[in-house]
């Protein structure tokens, strides 16, 4: 963890949580904490685990069960869950005539989803992101990007 990192400390009943916005998973490990005051000093070893948002799901997006108005999309879970299990996936779509993404579903539990309500003859683009308790940022990039 960098010397000049931005961090905050959250004090709870029997623990402290150190939030460091610059920490990376490679910074996980054992650290030595030294406490010192007029009464003396103490040294303890602390195990640190860096957690984050999950990585992007792994593609490509695989369509199946395609009809004029619906299809099923499948993908693989992200290679990194960020240190916390993936709680759900967010699937978005947009027709090729628009730049605006619309959420298909924000609470998909498995790496596949049935998409209904498609208009025949319209080309749609889809993207999906994984979410854990730390958030969601990374989309599986559509093959055309």
pLDDT-derived band of residue 141, with 50, 70 and 90 as boundaries?
low
Q: In whole angstroms, give the CA distance from residue 134 to residue 57.
A: 16
For residue 1, give both structure tokens: 């963890």
What is the residue extent of each domain of the chain? 7-48, 58-140
d(CA 127, CA 24): 26
Nearest to 42 by CA among 31, 51, 50, 34: 34
Q: Read off the pLDDT of residues 90-117 as tens digits, 9 standing for 90 and up.
A: 999 999 999 999 999 999 999 999 999 9
Q: Please, what CATH class does the domain formed by 58-140 belong to?
A: mainly beta
Tens of pLDDT, residue by residue over 17-51, are: 777 778 887 888 998 988 888 999 999 998 888 88
pLDDT at residue 47, rounded to an integer: 87
pTM: 0.73
Task: State mean pLDDT over 40-69.
Answer: 91
């Amino acid at each position: 963890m960098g010397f000049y990192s931005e961090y905050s400390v959250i004090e709870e009943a029997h623990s402290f949580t150190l939030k460091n916005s610059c920490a990376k998973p490679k910074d996980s490990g054992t650290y030595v904490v030294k406490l010192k005051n007029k009464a003396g000093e103490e040294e303890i070893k602390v195990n640190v685990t860096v957690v984050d948002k999950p990585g992007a799901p792994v593609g490509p997006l695989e369509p199946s069960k395609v009809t004029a108005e619906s299809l099923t999309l499948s993908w693989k879970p992200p290679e990194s869950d960020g240190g916390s299990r993936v709680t759900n996936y967010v699937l978005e779509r947009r027709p090729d005539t628009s730049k605006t993404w619309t959420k298909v579903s924000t609470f998909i539990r498995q790496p596949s989803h049935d998409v209904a309500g498609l208009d025949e003859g319209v080309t749609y683009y889809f993207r999906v992101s994984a979410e854990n308790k730390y958030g969601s940022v990374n989309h599986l990039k559509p093959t055309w990007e």
